[in-house]
Structure 1
């Protein structure tokens, strides 16, 4: 301790000595410099005279140099005299100021340290500091104690959908009656969290884990920990830490659990443990992983606390969203209808699982919504839409992308599933292995999912029947013209199969498609014989065949009327054919037909506006 006071006193005295030198001799340095400049310029004038005498300079050049040097000499002399002026200050006043400064520095330093410092406290070795930090972490506030300090839930956010809130109320009541229903408790945790009621959400998630017992997965514990942290205002409580460690025991690479574990160490004076967790997680993650952004904004501070000079890696661009490969499409041609449906469902389920556990980009959420709608799972698509709106509530650009995908998929509004309800399932079909001709016949008469059309196109191209593959491609684009996600999947399959362009009526491959508010049905397509014959038709004959199909639908609607979906389908088809005049006539007929049905007309209007024919 004595050594500390000796060092402190020596430092204070050195400071006073420096200050005294400045006060007593402050002008001497500048004065000396300016005096030196004066001497230099005088020497230069004498040197000019010698150069003229030796004939090195003529008189004119020497005179110009003398004028400039003399000017500099006068300036330097004025500065030297000004620098010497402060030295005339009274010496008594200077000593008085110096004495006051000494008292202020020495007395003020001792007084400040006695208040803010800890005299008599010995230095803490690293091991002791770590031991104290661990003791403080073990004794930190529990989840209940933290929540008791925070305000209670203020209720649903303003403007929340009344239908959605009513369904959440029903879900709560159902779980009070059936508390052992795992799926219902999972839904309750999800939707309580979406409403910001994190205490109720983590209570429901705790019930899920208790019901699952040893079958509880890493994802279950991660969701539980996430809700605990949110309920605690961002603090990682001992209960949340226990859940995180349970998640990492089951999956050591759980990114969300690792993020929160690093955060916990940072909050509890252990940056030496938190920093390497965040560093490894950041360097090993995709750039669009949900924890990358928060880590990047905080890791510099955590590294500094750990005593590490660290520069985060440059941000890499996110890669494209993965779709089915050419091999997947080729294999689908030999699958049964059930197997093909399972293939596309498996792709959708994998994307859904990844978004639920790791998060993702707005385009991936939009892709999932569109894919669910394409396979007929509209209820789950609407639920994902609602969840995506919650995730990107503060990102208008992302919301616009997601809402646009939902509208293109024909979804009217986002919603959540009721407890215990099951998503809509596609109808099962014959499970026998189809030949290409049988597949062609079935799609022409019964229709099918986009993956079925894609598989048929790939199969025809593989057999070398590229002309018929192009015709089927055009028909598939016609069938799904209002569904950009489906058209994109079909186009990708055709391109991978080596086809360049479709034949016949096809959706445009660039530019926005009309956005109906409900998913329209496909135009009634030609039968298998028509498709086969179309391959032999001229371009004019094929166009005439397609126009005949559209004209038949137009006659039926203008004569007998029909639901909004049929009118949307007809306007879409006329738009694809480029017949805007006829589309304007159909729009006028639709306005007359729905004169007393504002809701029906509202479902048709977006397509008319997209075609530029609405008033």
Structure 2
């Protein structure tokens, strides 16, 4: 703590020193010191009077020369007038330069937390891995996944989770970049192409550009009739003036939509039929979110579960973490992952019956 205060004091002195030096130099010029320019112009007036008295200047020439010299003297006097104010300003700067560091230190003592140690990023990252994923913010999940890029750069599922987490954190461009990496690694997955298209739409403020359209068409090719992909394709067709084709796609996917999302799409169809145009951007965004159903939310949960699994690989002596992981895989229907996690946890905690009981309970599907 002493080191901090010494460093803070030195920095304050270094910052204030140029201000104080400049103000001190300026303060040496007092308000009573005469500007040498004024003396020069007074000498010129005296010389003109002397020449006129000796008959070396005519009366008219003397009057003109005296008027010009007088004008210059007045102009020089006006220019020298602010000297006193300039000195006051410099003195004020000197006072501010001295007071600012003192006020900053006093404010920090009362408002800041000088006794609280800094928490390096790696320590924060470790605490996030140890936390329940459901309690983390999107940017924290992004940071956790980013720390695993070197290890999992060839895993398309990792890039998918990173893309979805970035989208959740509001980084549309980063989401699109991650999802492009995912489709390069596994180009036969329709869900990756769909999510890439959605990220591109998000990046362009809900406009469906050519890259996004290509991604949606590829998703539809790999999984014909995919509702979310066909929704966006239909929307682009309507935007391009191909209203009949766009409405045909929407009507085709309507029976396969989640029941809660159908009214929104039906309303959009009715609006386009009546006006020939798409609804407003706000209504469209809401309909798109409904059309996607719970897909994004499920993907975010999956990303958090994978983060928990990665943490347990690094710090496996966490029985509560293993119970949460087994329960999460059970709820998600990931039977193979559940069984693998359950087997590993049972082997690790074979001498702790209370943990084994929790694991067995977590592996049981919820009773309906």
Q: TM-score range by the shorter chain?
A: 0.3 to 0.5
**TM-score when normalising by structure 2:** 0.41
Greater per-residue helix proportion: 2
Greater RCO between the two (CA within 8 Å, min separation 6)? 2
Q: TM-score, normalised by structure 1?
A: 0.26
